[in-house]
Amino acid sequence: MRLLLSTSLAALQPARTAALLLLAACCAGQAATAAAQGRPAAKPVAGSTSYATRADAMQFADEVAARRGLDRNWVRATIGAARFLPNVPRLMLPGPTGTVKNWQAYRGRFIDATRIAAGVRFWRANADTLARAEATYGVPPEIVVGIVGVETIYGRNMGNFRVIDALATLAFDFPQAHPRAADRQAFFRSELESFLSTESRTADDPLVLLGSYAGAMGMPQFMPSSIARYAVDFDGDGRIDLVNNPADVIGSVASYFKAFGWKAGMPATYPVHFDEARLRKDVLLAPDIVPSFSADSFVAAGAVPEGDGLRHKGLLALIELQNGLDAPPTYVAGTRNFYVVTRYNWSSYYAMSVLDLGQEVKAAMGLVPATSPVLPQPAQSSQPLEPLQSPQSPQSLPPLQPAAPVQLPSPQPLQPQPLQPLQPEPSPHQPTQQQPSQQREPMPLPE
């Protein structure tokens, strides 16, 4: 359902009224989109037991009502109507120990003829809006096209879980076997609070809104707090619609990337080859995906960026993408913009899929030569591969201390630029935890 700007909201913050609106994909809106695309509407996944009798859920409802100045009975009734989704906690768990990462298999899930053709149609239908978003935010069309294609195939698959069920399940029954269970459960409680806070001020029925099993909504799969902070009314029609309005989708994705420090004109990656005589891969991989090396120090450690990468003025990271047990890894040099893509989903495999899909769609439109996947580098080790884990915050990475004889300056890990989150409502009570990004788990890798 599209949310109309109300006179009361406009009076509160005239410059930010559009940003205060939360779009959640309701059944009617998704049904209309499905009909327009010639496919059946999504049937909501059925939950089991209600949270109405859960003391912890009702206590949370009372706390949210007091903190946000909401009607206590409404909050209790809404959370009480949520139902536990038995399969969702399992979906949040990382792969079992020993699971092999495989970039080429992962890439194949998102780079195919169907998705590329859909991307071409989306780009052509929205070329003017994509160009305007680039002029406004500095984010090129292929990045937006890559995100929307990987997330939902341009609106074809926006999820069939009731958002209230998904958020309640993860807020109150997050799997304790997860290595970061406490942090993730706190995150989903914050998202449930954000969802309730905004829904309390709209005409939407919070019990019929649909999204992913993690509570993400619309074509770009924004979490509730991300919609409140970064979604924009990009066509100026007085509402934000991330289900049926490509203009708002495009503007909102570009707005998100701009907020996290996207630099216009900077490539996200460069090809890289190794100088085996001085290669210090342990040093280069220590900061993970955080850009930490100047081009000179990158080369000094044995990784040589190709083309314009040798003249790159910012910091670089060595990105390793494993290709199973039978093929060597793929390597690229990642820039700050690569790191920004991972703020949408904390996975280098996801980020490379977004970048590659965008380039393939661009090539299919004849705007650039066709590209092929980056070829793996020669094998360096036969050690078993570790399972893909949730990326860490850059602040938690240990400072890099290069060892002799390579004399490298200690790199300074890239910090996401400070954000000023938009407040989703005029209440003086704000969440105790502000999440810097969507903090979504990496999409699972095929074995």
List residues with catalytic annotation.
151
CA separation (Å) from 115 to 260, 361, 408? Answer: 27, 9, 43
Q: Are 162 and 45 in contact (CB under 8 A)?
A: yes
Give me the sign of the Cα torsion angle 335, 338, 340, 343. Answer: negative
Closest CA to 427 of 197, 239, 230: 197
Q: Are 363 and 371 in contact (CB under 8 A)?
A: yes
The DSSP code sequence of 103-121 is HHHHHHHH-SHHHHHHHHH
The DSSP code sequence of 316-381 is BEEEEE-B-SSSPPEEEEE-HHHHHHTTTSS-HHHHHHHHHHHHHHHHHTTSS----PPPPPPP--
**3 state SS of 81:** helix
**3 state SS of 276:** helix
CA-only gyration radius of the chain, Å: 22
Question: Exposed e or buried b for every residue in 374-405, given b needs 16+ CB within 10 A?
Answer: bebeeeeeeeebeebebbeebeebeebebeee
What residue has token string 């079992």? 96
The answer for residues whose C-beta is within 8 angstroms of residue 217's C-beta and 6 or more apart is 23, 24, 25, 158, 159, 163, 209, 210, 211, 223, 224, 227, 242, 243
